[in-house]
Amino acid sequence: MKIHNLGEGNSLLNHFIREIRSVEIQGDPLRFRRNLERIGEIMAYEISKTLEYRSEEVRTPLGVAEVNVAEGGIVVASILRAGLPLHNGVLSYFDRAENCFVSAYRKYRDETHFDVHVEYIASPCLDGKTVILCDTMLATGCSMELAYKAILTRGTPKRVAVCSVLASRRAVEYIASALPSEGCDLWVAAVDPELNAHAYIVPGLGDAGDLAFGAKMD
């Protein structure tokens, strides 16, 4: 599996990462969601460079031009609920893509131990398609692994691009070992060094789902 850490270079992406991390800025839900969307747009653009292209002729008012366009068959998938803003950002660039949604959540056995459950999936047939699988945070990588296995019940993709805004180093290593080495890439905007006792990314940004959509009942 190839790991694409977009935050290793200097770009406008760093500005959006700063804002979603900052306790002085992230409290504005609209701004938080929009920053996640903009990160998704940047990721979509970077992923677009790796797709297969074909040449098409386009008629202009003065003649005919040849343009290389990406092949179709793209499905944007996300893990509910935190993955939705990232999903929307990716979808705004791949605006003709199909969509897939997976419900995965932590069910705590005590204060520090939990299991990950998948309850729901809505998806088109994925046979032979490129799937862009989005989740804002990769803490342990377990939710992403289960979501990946869940989407395989809807077909065999040609390729899967896993996208996350923030990932722990542990999750990156786990995903690299748990998902196929061929036909599957991981795209992240930043990688943080550790997890705390509750398996939250440190320094991270907090609970992305709550920041985007408000606190939920446990």
Domain map of the chain by residue range?
2-51+71-213
What does the alpha-carbon distance between residue 155 and residue 123 come to, in Å, rounded to a whole number? 10
Per-residue pLDDT tens digits for 146-183: 889 989 999 999 999 999 999 999 999 999 999 998 99
How far apart are alpha carbons 82 and 134 in whole angstroms?
9
Six-digit token pair at 153?
A: 């019940």
To 5 degrees, how large is the angle CA 9–CA 180–CA 203?
A: 40
- Under 8 Å CB-to-CB from 156, ≥6 apart: which residues? 126, 127, 128
d(CA 158, CA 74) in angstroms, rounded, equals 10
Answer yes or no: is pLDDT of 83 > 50. Answer: yes
Which of 41, 17, 28 shows the shortest CA–CA distance to 165? 17
Structure-model confidence comparison of residues 104 and 128, the more confident one: 128
What does the buried/exposed string (b/e) look like for 12-37 if buried means 16 or more CB atoms within 10 Å of the residue's CB? ebeebbebbbeeeebeeeeebbbbbb
User: Radius of gyration over alpha carbons of the chain, in Å?
Assistant: 18
Mean pLDDT computed over 95-122: 70
Checking if the pLDDT of 93 tops 80, the result is yes
Mean of pLDDT values over 93-110:
78
Choose among 146, 179, 161: nearest CA to 77: 161
Query: Is the pLDDT at 108 greater than 60, yes or no?
Result: no
pLDDT tens digits along 31-74: 999 999 999 999 999 999 999 999 999 999 999 999 999 988 99
Minimum mean pLDDT range among 45-54, 98-107, 109-118, 200-209? 109-118
Fold of 2-51+71-213: Rossmann fold (3.40.50)
pLDDT value for 204? 96
Is the pTM of the predicted complex or chain greater than 0.85?
A: yes
What's residue 215's pLDDT?
85
**What value does the mean pLDDT of the chain take?**
91
